[in-house]
Amino acid sequence: MTPPSLRQLVTGAARVLGEAGVPSPEHDARALAAFALGVPRLLPGLEPEPPADFPARFAELVERRRSREPLQRIVGLTSFRFLEVEVADEVFVPRPETELVAEQAIVEAVRLRAAGVSPLVVDLCCGSGVIAVSVASEAPGSRVLAVDAAPQAVAATRATARRAGVEVDARTGDVRDPVLLSELDGRCDVVVANPPYIPPDAEPHDPEVRDHDPDLALYGGGTDGLEVPRAVVVAAVRLLRAGGLFVMEHAEVQAAAVRAELERTGVFDDVATHPDLTGRDRMVVARRTAGATRSRAEGGPDVEHSPS
């Protein structure tokens, strides 16, 4: 009997994945086949002749995806803006919507760099470090720090930076710590964060998220999921210099609550919600008032930028 062709195997796999409720079965079947063949992608009409052990290896990968293991965790890689990112166990898989959050920080850092300033950018709750490493790559000349409570995330951030060939100072720390990075109080140009923000009673529907992303990366704490995001705001108030930029991702339903949280501090101007690419309200952007920073208010020195 003639063995099934690559095309037949991929079509069969797509059907199996579709029946299991996988959202993009054809794409995933082709991606798994490419991974099993060791090529970046399958080009239609130019599919290589599969080796004899391909059907068995492919079937194993398809079975993992059928049981809703995320594609990125199976192939061990994902992409974010211009980065190729290794997907590590116990570390959140970065999402496309966060690319726009990173962009706000990048645009600000590039703007400052053009003005002769060496921007100091802090990524809180950094996970695999995609925001921090994107800033370091796309706004060269920035000094970038990244913090996460999970040591696996800090190790992943270092790996992402190494792979991209940039420097990011990645540290283990809890954003609820009132003295986290206190040596930088009133000195940061940008504080950016994609913290956990899911409320405790809103378990994600997708098994890929619910069963494979770490709980620490998903649930924000408190009854509304905003305990960690609130701590991020408190840290940003302390860390940002006057005129510094704050950017934070949140869930669509949290836009008004997050804006109110920032306005309540009394130290942010231009508090605005921004949409993601699908038009949903997914991030807040605000500027630390140009008035006194904490260090000035407390009699500390004015913060000078070091032109470079």
Ligand X SMILES: C[S@@+](CC[C@H](N)C(=O)[O-])C[C@H]1O[C@@H](n2cnc3c(N)ncnc32)[C@H](O)[C@@H]1O
Interacting residue ranges for ligand X, rule: CB under 6 A: 92, 94, 98, 125-128, 130-131, 148-150, 153, 174-176, 194-196, 216-217, 228
> Shortest Cβ contact with ligand X: which residue?
127
CB atoms near residue 200 (< 10 Å): 12
Tokens of 260: 């109110």
Nearer to ligand X, 34 or 191 (CB): 191
Query: Counting beta carbons within 10 angstroms of the beta carbon of residue 32, is it exposed (0 to 12), middle (13 to 18) or buried (19 or more)?
Result: buried
Nearer to ligand X, 217 or 226 (CB): 217
Q: How far is the CB of 112 from ligand X (least distance, A)?
A: 21
Nearer to ligand X, 109 or 125 (CB): 125
Tokens 């890929």, residue? 208
Sequence length of the chain is 308
Q: How far is the CB of 254 from ligand X (least distance, A)?
A: 13
* Distance in angstroms (rounded) separating the CA atoms of residues 208 and 213: 7
- E strand residue ranges, 94-208: 120-124, 143-148, 169-172, 188-193
* Distance in angstroms (rounded) separating the CA atoms of residues 120 and 122: 7
Q: Where are the alpha helices (DSSP H) in 165-212?
A: 207-210
Q: How far is the CB of 101 from ligand X (least distance, A)?
A: 7
Nearer to ligand X, 34 or 137 (CB): 137
* Distance in angstroms (rounded) separating the CA atoms of residues 217 and 88: 13
Nearer to ligand X, 195 or 225 (CB): 195
Q: What share of the chain is helix, strand, coil (3-state, %, to 5)?
A: 40, 20, 40
Q: How far is the CB of 294 from ligand X (least distance, A)?
A: 20
Nearer to ligand X, 150 or 285 (CB): 150
Q: How far is the CB of 77 from ligand X (least distance, A)?
A: 14
Q: How far is the CB of 166 from ligand X (least distance, A)?
A: 16
Query: Counting beta carbons within 10 angstroms of the beta carbon of residue 107, is it exposed (0 to 12), middle (13 to 18) or buried (19 or more)?
Result: middle
- E strand residue ranges, 149-233: 169-172, 188-193
